[in-house]
Structure 1
Amino acid sequence: MLGDLTDRDRAILALEVSWPRHSGAKEEAIRTQLGMSPARYYQLLWRLIDTEQALEHDPLLVRRLRRIRDSRGVQRSVRMQGFVG
């Protein structure tokens, strides 16, 4: 249910929606607005987009982020296979 998102979850999704692509100051915004390291932010974001609550909250954003994450996972897998083989 939508009510299951925490304030932090909503803040993470809001930052991701509002952030223009390819801007170098995102890490600073993560630190100042959310009070966490960028690494922690991305850990929480990738976990969050797997929840039904996040999907209900902002389906377009969550689907876009899932596609981006899945695409990067495939690219990473292909690169790793190149090193193994």
Structure 2
Amino acid sequence: MTESEVWQRLTSVFRDVFEDDEITLSPETTAEDVEDWDSLTNIQLLIAIEKAFSGLEFSTGEVANLQNVGDLVSAITKRVTV
């Protein structure tokens, strides 16, 4: 899976979780940029991402170190393109 495909799938997950077809992600996107992205939604989002990327799992430490969507894409890309 290419990085472009990761971005496409991730955007779809965000749009589903937040029920907003207008969400546009960039590497700099953070929770502050997306309305209703709180701690509960963050958990729902991570679960949806793990399902969307066929069993991908993140540890609590990995999640804590993610600063923005760009970091998330990098973490996903490293695992799904191996």
TM-score (norm 2): 0.31
In our comparison, the structure showing a higher alpha carbon Rg is 1
The structure that is helix-richer by fraction is 1
